[in-house]
Structure 1
Amino acid sequence: MLTWQHLHSKEDLLGSPFIAHTFAFQGVATQVVTTLVEYETRTPKKRAILYLHGYTDYFFQADLAQHFTEQEWQFYALDLQGYGRSIRPNSRPNWCENMAQYHDDLRIALCELKQRGIEEVVLLAHSTGGLIASHFLAHLARNSTADSALDMTKVTGLILNSPFLALPFSPEVTKRVSWPIWLTVSLLPFHSIREKDISLYARTLHKHFCGEWEYRLDWKPAKGFPLSFNWLKQILLAQKQVKQLGLALPTLMCCSSATTRHERDPERIKQGDGVLDVESMTLAAQQTFKDLQIERIEGGFHDLYLSPLPSRQHYLAAIDQWLASRL
């Protein structure tokens, strides 16, 4: 039975009106924490957007919260165990034993939102967060009795921002390399790879390089955290399981109109998704979600909200339209 302890609630590092609620619970190997960031409003709503970040990431997009608040949604964001505000010295940052460990973060968040009077939640999830959210919802739909003792707010929709549903290769290459990669990460689960250089994608984002965004480079390092082979193995397992289980929940997937991960010039990287392959992502989504709408964003970055303003506006408008028409 999942239990957790509310450690504290205090003004978030983003400043007022953001509040960070921190909860402790037993993780796979040790006690961990998860952090629920709330955008406080004077007139609380009964429906909410719950944002889930990607890999080597955390929530820092303050204007995103304001946007959804103006659209009459409460806004919350989750920093998963081992990420951002939830990093602790007793565990490795971003360390993953299995994707299901993050289900507990989501269960805690949905229970806490229910306690706050939220009756309806739409998950908005980026990259690896999109895979985690899909994995959680697919299992929840087929094992609802396992969570019957938890009083969770109902999730009525899923919005995916460039989800990590497939390896970052074209569909043809993915077919050829999936088995060799699976064999390698299974044989060497404790191996990890550390990047020597700052990624070109990171150079397009942070103000310190040639981007427009400010964020903490200790929580979202430009060279990334060491990439664990066990993490990649769990990614492959989760991708397979999500596809097998499928999901009938109304789903909007937004992605860039182009893949630029093979480019070596930051200016060319900026023309599309510099991390994942758009076609493989789209194919995996079509094989997974039964009620799916896809929106391609011209000039969109991997994190569509961090794109240049015209692409960002297109992305938000697509979400607003979908929410209004479907929910």
Structure 2
Amino acid sequence: MSAPLGQAWRLLNQGEDQLGADFYYRTFAFAGPKTQVHTTLIHHLGNQQASKAILYVHGYTDYFFQAGLAQHFVDQGYRFYAVDLQGYGRSIRPSTPPNWCDSVEQYSQDLDIALATMKQDGVEQVVILAHSTGGLVVSTYLAHPYALPERESHYQMPFPEVIGLMLNSPFLALPFPPAVLNRISWPIRILVSALPFSYLRAKKITTYATTLHCRFGGEWDYRLDWKPAEGFNLSFHWLREIILAQRNLAQQSLSIPTLFCHSKISTIGKDSVVETQQGDGVLDVDSMKQAAEKSFTNLTEVVIDKGFHDLYLSHETAREEYLQAMDNWLAQLTTTK
């Protein structure tokens, strides 16, 4: 683990976030595997006296831009925070490739910084909401063998209690049907281990991206330099570390109350926008479901018909169904906490 707080990270800058006057950002610097890296914590200014908060963790080729999602939880009485992990969005720097990681475990310090800062703000209990690769990052973090009291002792400061986890289409398995995944997992691992410094070049705009961004007829406007329509170059080293993290998570048994939301079907490889919009155009739902059921022992599953890969970015009917599912689950969770 890292050094105590005073030596572990430092606040670089802070101020009004690009999302507008309702949002505030804080960027922290800390030592990464090879060089100094940055992480950025964004929070909505509503409900500053509330003791419970949502912490949102984005996916791959992603960052936090969903202001309406934050407002939704603020309207429900929560404080809302989001983190742009090192190498993503507001935390991208020229010194390291975007989205690069030596291992999935290195994002633990981003989460430590976020949670410790939330505690300093007066937050006592946290529910983490994680999308796609963020779901793997957070699950890996929560499955880590060191416990909350040890983190508090190590950093010489208190942390809030993480009382629940909400997963939005988590990247817990490679995007292949279970039968295919069983046959190709080892060959893929051998390939990416043999070519750790190779990349798949990002050249073509993905059909999924055209379902989202207003430039292509979608309803969302976000920064295409931070969430490019063709994606970033895919590192084989990154893929190897994702596969390793998925394999390690499959051997864990997490008892934290968990809401698992996903689309009804997968639409990977569909040629048209309309076909892609009928389901998850990025991951395989069946493999995702199988992996979640294996690792989480206190799991509530909700299927969102015609939900996109990022369920919040779905068309309004599916989006509202997704938000209602989270509200219902949170209501049940908070009655027991």
**Both structures adopt the same fold (TM-score exceeding 0.5):** yes
1: CA distance, partners of 2:180 / 2:204:
25
Cα deviation per residue 1:237-257 (whole Å; 9 max; x = unaligned)?
111111112211000000001
Deviation at residue 145 of structure 1 after TM alignment? 3.1
Aligned length: 327
1:263 is displaced (CA, Å) by 1.1
Task: Provide the secondary structure at the position in 1 that maps to 2:175.
Answer: coil
Equivalent residue in structure 2 for 1:124, among 93, 116, 129: 129
1:91 corresponds in structure 2 to 96
The yes-or-no answer on 1:66 pairing with 2:71 is yes
Q: Match of 1:149, as an amino acid?
A: H
2:115 corresponds to 1:113: no
Residue of 24, 35, 43 corresponding to 2:29? 24
Within a 5 Å distance, the mapping from 1:1-327 to structure 2 comes to 1-2=2-3, 3-41=8-46, 43-140=48-145, 145=150, 148-150=153-155, 151-327=158-334
Cα separation, 2, equivalents of 1:94 and 1:11:
25
Q: 1:43 to 1:84 in 2, by over 3 A?
A: closer
Partner secondary structure for residue 284 of structure 1 = helix
Deviation digits for residues 121-176 of structure 1 (CA, Å, limit 9, x no counterpart) = 00000000000000000105668636632322111100000000001000000001
Residues 253-307 of structure 1: CA distance to partner in whole angstroms, max 9, x if unpaired? 0000111002111110000000000010000000000100000000100000000
Q: CA deviation at 1:210?
A: 2.1
Give, in whole Å, the separation in 1 of the partners of 2:32 and 2:239.
19
Instruction: For residue 159 of structure 1, give the secondary structure of its aligned residue in structure 2.
Output: strand
Identical-pair percentage: 54
Instruction: List structure 1 runs of 4+ shifted beyond 4 angstroms.
Output: 140-144
* CA distance in structure 1 between the aligned counterparts of 2:304 and 2:260, rounded to whole angstroms: 11
Structure 2 unmatched runs, 5+: none
RMSD, aligned CA? 1.2
Change (3 A) 1:16 1:287: same
Deviations 1:158-198 (A, max 9, x none): 00000000010000000011000000001100001012210
CA distance in 1, matches of 2:244, 2:234: 16
Shift of 1:42: 5.6
Q: Following the alignment from structure 2 to structure 1, what is the Cα–Cα distance between the partners of residues 202 and 92?
A: 20
State TM-score, norm by structure 2.
Answer: 0.95
CA distance in 2 between partners of 1:287 and 1:109 (Å): 28
Which residue identity lines up with residue 123 of structure 1 in the other structure? I
Question: How far apart in 2 are the matches of 1:102 and 1:261?
Answer: 28
Name which of structure 1's ranges 161-170 and 236-245 shifts more when overlaid on structure 2.
236-245
Q: Which amino acid aligns with 1:295?
A: V
The one-letter amino acid of 1:37's match is I
Give the TM-score of the pair, scaled to structure 1.
0.98
The SS at the match of 2:144 is helix
CA contact 2:47–2:74 (8 Å) conserved in 1: no
Give per-residue Cα distances to partners, 1:93-113, cap 9 Å, x unaligned: 111110011000000111001
Unaligned runs of 5+ in 1: none
Question: SS in structure 1 opposite 2:87?
Answer: coil
